[in-house]
Structure 1
Amino acid sequence: MSKEVKTCLPSYDGQPGFEITWSADCKEAFNRGVKLAQFWLDSACSGWLWAVMIAERDLLPRAIDRRAFEVGFLGRVHQRLRSHEASSQSLIGVASGTAQPERHPLTETACRC
């Protein structure tokens, strides 16, 4: 029986973090993904985001480490994308005189966390 190991993506850019449980210790790969995404987001990289992720991910030997890397990488990118969405919606709310952006219920095709 394998021991469950938790990894945590800290909150960032005003977006919540999350905790995920793995069947093996892959914190290093997860953190590596987060750091690479952060580097790409904060730098003036002209390379394709997907190419950067794939090239680095493929250096990892175990499938679970590659998956953890992807989750960490895409988790950080998701936080950045959501932060820009939230800030643009709040600007729309301020411009129109409303404090809260309009909320829509999830549809069957919406992403569920």
Structure 2
Amino acid sequence: MSKGVKTCLPPHDGHPGVEITWASDCSEAFNQGAKLAQSWLDNARTGWLWAVMIAERDLLPRAIERRAFEVGFLSRVHQRIGTQRCRSHSEKSLSLML
């Protein structure tokens, strides 16, 4: 992998954040995914989660952007689920390389 570009999902709902390194700049797609997931979580969960994700993801032109969108989306959902399952988790950040 080349030098890489980092994106960060900040801690939320008491669950740690995550820092991910991509082969190219995917921060916009990643952030779009996280924001869409947050919107779905905040708005009484209208529509099917998977349908909301797929409809927006498929609008992105490159495969790596679609992957970043998915990771951002699912990471935000994971934070919410993780909070409900394990409230005593520490605030340290995780680091991933994709």
Normalised by the shorter chain, which TM-score bucket? Answer: 0.7 to 0.9
Summarize the alignment of residues 55-74 of structure 1 with structure 2, pairs less than 5 Å apart: 55-74=55-74
Aligned equivalents of 1:26, 1:36: Cα separation in 2: 16
Q: Deviations over 1:26-53 (max 9, x none)?
A: 1000000000000000002420000000
Which residue in the other structure is 1:96 paired with?
none
Which residue in the other structure is 1:9 paired with?
9
Secondary structure of residue in 1 paired with 2:86: helix
Which residue in the other structure is 2:53 paired with?
53
Normalized against structure 1, the TM-score is what?
0.74
Which residue in the other structure is 2:32 paired with?
32
Aligned equivalents of 1:15, 1:54: Cα separation in 2: 25
- After TM superposition, where is structure 1 displaced by more than 4 Å over at least 4 residues in a row? none
Unmatched 5+ residue regions in structure 1? Answer: 91-112
Q: Is the 8 A contact 2:29 2:65 kept in 1?
A: yes
Aligned equivalents of 1:24, 1:75: Cα separation in 2: 19
Q: Which has the higher Rg, Structure 1 or Structure 2? A: 1
RMSD, aligned CA: 1.7
Structure showing the higher strand proportion among its residues: 2
How many pairs align? 89
Unmatched 5+ residue regions in structure 2? Answer: 89-95
Q: Deviations over 1:60-86 (max 9, x none)?
A: 000000000000000000000011112
Aligned equivalents of 1:24, 1:11: Cα separation in 2: 23
Aligned equivalents of 1:2, 1:82: Cα separation in 2: 32
Aligned equivalents of 1:18, 1:66: Cα separation in 2: 18
Q: Which has the higher contact order (CA 8 A, sep 6+)?
A: 2
